[in-house]
Amino acid sequence: MPSKILIVMGSDSDAPSLEAAWQVLDELGIPYDVRVASAHRTPGVVHALATGAREAGYAAIIAAAGIAAHLAGVFASLTTLPVIAVPMPAGTLGGMDALLSSVQMPPGVPIASMGIGGAKNAGLFVAAILAVTDGAIAERLEAQRRAMAAKVGEADARLRAKLAAKGT
């Protein structure tokens, strides 16, 4: 199974809301490419990326867009690779429009969708897809979960110690 991920955003204005996705991939040692391409403004580029994605060696696509977000859906209409939408918190509706555009796909052309601005989870979700067949990535994900759990345990101990010191 290929292990490279394609990350596409509808505008470079989305980059600050999306960078957590490739930061996670960096941490997990997963290769990726990042592109700016818009379903509405550069449909030809999106078409070429989507139809060539499997041959280019991508395992999955993260597609982030805001407002009337059609990027993920258009990718899914052009490839059977898994497509994960990240609704961007752009525009007057704060991302609700992009969220609904992402989750309300018509039957037959599915995409997965993270929450509004859910870039980190998108990176973790594609890692989980790769981990089905890649034991090294699975081990790195498990190590990350253990580290996360340890941090919660430390926070719990800190708070309880603080409250105990106050005598509550």
Binding mask 36-75 for ligand RP5 (x = CB under 6 A): --x--------------------------xxx--------
99 binds ligand RP5 (CB under 6 A): no
Assigned token pair, 124: 């973790």
CB atoms within 10 A of CB 44: 8
Closest CB to ligand RP5 among 66 and 123?
66
Binding-site member from 28, 50, 63, 88 for ligand RP5 (CB under 6 A)? 88
Q: Which residue has the tokens 């060696």?
A: 57
Q: Please, what is the end-to-end C-alpha distance for the chain in angstroms?
A: 55
95 binds ligand RP5 (CB under 6 A): no
What minimum distance in Å lies between the beta carbon of 2 and ligand RP5?
26
Nearest to 75 by CA among 6, 127, 2: 6
Q: Are 38 and 8 in contact (CB under 8 A)?
A: no
- 6 to 25, contacts with ligand RP5 by CB under 6 A? 10-11, 13-14
Residue 138 sits at φ, ψ, to 5 deg, of -60, -45
Closest CB to ligand RP5 among 38 and 77?
38
